[in-house]
Structure 1
Amino acid sequence: RDTPFAGLEETYSATGDLKQAELELLKSEIELYRNIRQYLHPNSMELVDALLSQFEIDNLKNAIRIYFDRKIRNRSGDTGIHYILYDRIIHDIPVDIIVNAEDFDEIAGACEGTPYGQIIRKYSHTVESEGSLFRMEIAFDHFYYQNLLASIDKQDRRDRTIALRLAGVEIDLQNINWIIRFKDFYDLPLEAVLAAIVPGGFNLDRAIMAELYGAQNVTSVLQGFVKSKYPGLSALLSSHTSDSTSRLLLIRRILEEIMKHEVQRILAGYPFTIGIILSYFVLKRNELKKIRTILNAKYYRIEQERIESMI
């Protein structure tokens, strides 16, 4: 109760609604970015806006999913409308129009004047013919990272180097998360996987990603860069995994540890760079991720020992 998250308990106690508590957590995270943004140089403001656009894109994807379930899958989307954001994040997007739209043309029109209208128009027919939002959502995520890297490119040399390194590790994590999803739900061929991944990763290029997707022994693929760049993480390479998904989860764990290492490296270095702010965002995101995990674990009555192992 005596923490910045006391409001979550009030929300949950008043509503008994876990998703509503998570929505309040999301609002507080967005507000954190805005509060820091106001004190920054214009170039850094643009970078923070690029980071903020991830929340906007995720919210837009959620709104489109509600439309998709209602109009294409003929399912009720009534519950979902209470767990998305209707206020402006970066652009003026009439979310209420999107969730109640009759077709993708109406959604694209509602997003006119934003970077998203063109993506929606380009992929709407694919969504309808395939009965899946997969390719449209991949396109949204590609736009996010392209925009982020373009914003980083406008920073001065020191800030650009630091930000590219952190963004590259983040892209590695995103690509591994996608590969896990591709294997578990889509069983995509390698060519389709390589076409979907985001360029700009720090440690995992296309060749390594291709190896990881089909490798039986992921440690042999990873040990080169882990032992040379992050020798302290070598012990993780000795973990034994029996199936492809477990092997990919091991890679994700290693990449999460690499992100922690990069953040610690920045915090121990020169203090007057954009890296300090980006590291703070990473630390806060990890903290909020733990809070969400605890909220869900408590809701589903998971034992404390297991909760501790999850965070």
Structure 2
Amino acid sequence: MNAFAAYGAINTKIHARKKSLLSNKEWQKTVEFKSVVQVIDFLKKRPGYKRLLNDYKIEDVHRTELEVVLDRYIVSEIENMLHYFSGSYKVFFKTFLMEYEINDLQLLLRSISRNENMQGIEHFFVHSQKYGLTIYDKLITCKNVIQFIEALKGTIYYDTLKTMAEEDIAKREFHMEMKLYILFYKQLMEVAEQLAPKDKKIAKKIIGTKIDLINIQWIYRATKYYDISPEEILIYSLPFGDKVNYQRLKILSYTKNLDEYKKLVQRYISSSLFQEESDAFLEHTIDRQLYHYIMRMNTREENISLSLAYIYTLYIEVQDLVALTEGIRYTLPQDELKKYLVHTI
């Protein structure tokens, strides 16, 4: 029995929550919608989503606001899970909320760097009100990036950002965002080390698989589309991957051409991620790879696998709902729209 994780209670809770996830039949129904209003109306009738959407008039919810609501839903689900954990396990699952806090820090950084009006920006925040930073009122009043970074003194983010203030704005924004996400995954892996051996192995395998896929996409896009040196590509690749260790990351970062890169990726992860003709589908192909991996996991035992699988499955569902609304907005044909979804319909 794990003193820090009430597996029986949390697994029962998650099995109940999983019933609110969209079925394949329901996904087939959603791709037939002709307007975002229809999507909102559909979600307002579903457990979980309806609680957050009740304060909105259907016709007033735009794509950006919907994305905010959906991200807040993930945050609320993680917050609810924390009631069943204590000690190192609560610290571990609470760390997943960092990703949404980083989302809001990036939002503020971009607005400050571009001298945008900050009025009303808090309406787009998705971070946890219960477990997140308590200094957002102070951050909103910052007039420049240096003030912003100084306001973060005493938080986990300060040491990561404090050396960035002197670079030019365009580069600074990119570097800061990359450094924040490296910090997130580094922190996630560090707290995973404090779990019981079996749970630590499960956590590092799932998160490591996610990191592998993120790195593969990052290196591919950085090589093909951006003027980024191999040294910089390697610096901003995430550590702690499952199958793609530092040595393999270095080989991929310095690969001379994309054909060789694709062959190496297939060799390293035993799967081809570049079968689609268009790179527009790469992110969805990668998420589908993670989704299929999660669906193959044994989540019936009393360990953290079900909790982790639920977080990542919910994340993928939200990404698909965002892709769905975007496709409807641009009136994509159904067959084309389905290609942008992780769920295979």
After the TM superposition, which of the residue ranges 281-290 and 35-44 deviates more from structure 2?
35-44
- Checking the alignment, whether the CA contact within 8 Å between 1:56 and 1:90 is kept in structure 2 is no
* 2:139 counterpart SS class: helix
Residue 119 of structure 1, CA deviation: 2.5
Question: What is the correspondence of 1:15-94 to structure 2 with a 5 Å cutoff?
Answer: 15-70=60-115, 75-76=116-117, 82-85=123-126, 88=129, 90-94=131-135
What's the counterpart of residue 190 of structure 1? 230
Q: Is 24-33 or 252-261 further displaced after alignment? A: 252-261
- For the structure 1 residues 87 and 96, does the alpha-carbon distance in structure 2 shift closer, same or farther, using more than 3 Å as the test? farther
Cα displacement (A) at 1:88: 2.8
- Give 1:230's aligned residue: none
Give 2:312's match in structure 1, choosing from 282, 285, 308. 282
Per-residue CA deviations over 1:219-277 (Å, capped at 9, x if unaligned) read 421343444xxxxx5xx479375xxx84x965x566434423432333x2551111110
Displacement of 1:120 after TM fit? 2.8
Q: Which deviates more, 119-128 or 276-285?
A: 119-128
Find the counterpart in structure 2 of residue 118 from structure 1: 159
Does the 8 A contact of 1:64 with 1:98 survive in 2?
A: no
Q: Percent identity?
A: 18
The equivalent of 2:301 in structure 1 is: 271
So what's the TM-score if we normalise by structure 1? 0.81
Pick aligned residue for 2:267 from 224, 246, 249? 224
- Superposition RMSD on alpha carbons, in Å? 3.0
Amino acid paired to 2:258: Q
Change (3 A) 1:253 1:14: closer
Give the Cα–Cα distance (whole angstroms) in 1 for the partners of residues 214 and 268 of structure 2. Answer: 18
Aligned length: 293
* Equivalence for 1:296: 326
Tell me which protein shows more helix as a share of its residues: 1
Relative contact order: is structure 1 or structure 2 higher (C-alpha 8 Å, sep ≥ 6)?
2
CA distance in 2, matches of 1:109, 1:91: 18
The answer to whether the 8 Å contact 1:168/1:200 transfers is yes
Q: 1:9 to 1:172 in 2, by over 3 A?
A: farther
Structure 2, unaligned runs of 5 or more: 1-41
8 Å CA contact 1:50, 1:148 repeated in 2? yes
In 1, Cα distance between equivalents of 2:307 and 2:281: 28
Q: Residue 51 of structure 1 contacts residue 148 of structure 1 at CA under 8 Å; is this kept in 2?
A: yes
Match of 1:99 in 2: 140
Show structure 1 runs of 5+ residues with no match: 228-232
Q: Distance in 1 between matches of 2:114 and 2:57?
A: 27
| In structure 2, distance between residues paired with 1:297 and 1:249 | 13
After TM superposition, give the deviation of residue 295 of structure 1 in Å.
Answer: 1.8
After TM superposition, give the deviation of residue 56 of structure 1 in Å.
0.8
The letter for the 2-side match of 1:216 is L
Out of 230, 238, 241, which is 1:201 matched to?
A: 241
Q: Would the alpha carbon gap of residues 119 and 15 (structure 1) be closer, same or farther in structure 2, given more than 3 Å must change?
A: same
The 1:69/1:181 distance shift into structure 2, 3 A limit, reads farther
1:121–1:115 distance in 2 versus 1, CA, 3 Å: same
| Local SS of the residue matching 2:75 | helix
Q: Does 1:149 align with 2:195?
A: no
Structure-1 residue corresponding to 2:9 = none
